[in-house]
Structure 1
Amino acid sequence: MKTCLITGASRGIGRAIAIELSYKRGEISKFILVARDIMELENTKRLMSLSPNIETFVMDQADLKQVEEQLGIILENNTIDILINCAGFVEPSSLLETTVENWESTFTVNVGSVFLITREIVKKMKSYGGKIINISSTAGLGARPGWSAYSASKAAIINFSLTLSEELKEYGIKVYCISPGRCATDLRKKLAPDEDPASIMQPEEIAYVVNNLISKSGNSLDGQNIVVRQQINEKII
């Protein structure tokens, strides 16, 4: 039986993944859900299957000291077989309006905390193998005027994932990167506040892809940036 840790599990794609896997992946006997909002984490838990054991941890990924402390508690009592890095942060602004604080906060949550969480878990995972799935974005694949900090951070996650896939092969660890296009999340509302959420991809569609990657059929897809998006009007994602 396996243990799965999901960051950003309080809403959006992270929540959808937690729900999907709890019903579809019977081999996962325990879920560890991580996010800043304990109330929303508990709401996610209520929507999941009752079969697996589910634990929730409050973790602000903008605070790397807190991340390290909470990870110490989690890893003291758990062996993580599947890691899904889904938490994200965005405060979109143009180059001339982006503050150093904004840039640093974006990279701390979207890149720094992913590095730290992954490194600490791999210290144990390397002895038994596992799977790591990082959620990036198509914003990391091309120019996004007004989103420079966010786009650059997501480009970093794509390269980080590709590099880890090669680096961790010797330990039997498979690493995947998923880059969703326009998806109806709270983060997307910040990027495109006037967009109709019902007209774009839903978080459940990303969760379906994650479920497939965790299955044996996903074993041949590691080391790739997997783009998941609608084909209509993708120039404006």
Structure 2
Amino acid sequence: MRTLVIGDIHGGLRALHQIIERAHVTPQDTLIFLGDYVDGWSQSPQVLDYLIALKTTNNCVFIRGNHDELLLHWLKDSKDNLMWYKHGGEATVTAYEKVNATTKQLHIEFLLALDDYYLDEKNRLFVHAGFTNMNGVKYEFFPKLFYWDRTLWETALSLDRAIKPNDLLYPKRLTLYDEVYIGHTPVTRIGKTEPVQMACVWNVDTGAAFKGPLTIMDIDTKEFWQSEPLNHLYFDEKGRN
């Protein structure tokens, strides 16, 4: 029995199939998805179909990402967003032209049921982007920050390695949880394509929205498996710039 965490998928169903196969996922495994299931590659509706089916065989935790929230607004309220359109939404809108009303409603229900965060019994936090409240996620005033914030990761990246957790200068946010697992900000921005740990924060977004692979990681052993780079799997698509 393993607990596996999965980074941002961004419509890349082929990559999702690969990591599930490469990690030899079984129904005994718990799967924690960090959000951003959609936008970027052409199979966003199929990714949601796959996840909805997966929760009938596995214990799954589905975290809400910012792209999932943007899709929900579009599906539920017909709310267009030009910036969303430019950052992966165009491929999603095109893909939904072939999706019937019944399936769209199932997707709306799935998106509405996503969790803002998940905190396990070992004080390990799973959240799409981050949080800002110095007392932790339960005290966050603005829930949207769970799937938009980048300051948690930026703080972890910039932390002086000489400062220890018991130091007065150590950021309080980085002392609240034993581990924090995030996506949202691709590690390709710092030239990496594998999960990166900074302080207690593990970033598992390895750039699947762009030219990186999709990653699944065992949170206990830190062993991980990756897909082929998404631009190789979708060689006939432009993806996100």
TM-score, structure 1 as length reference: 0.34
The answer to which structure has the higher helix fraction is 1
Q: Which has the higher contact order (CA 8 A, sep 6+)?
A: 2
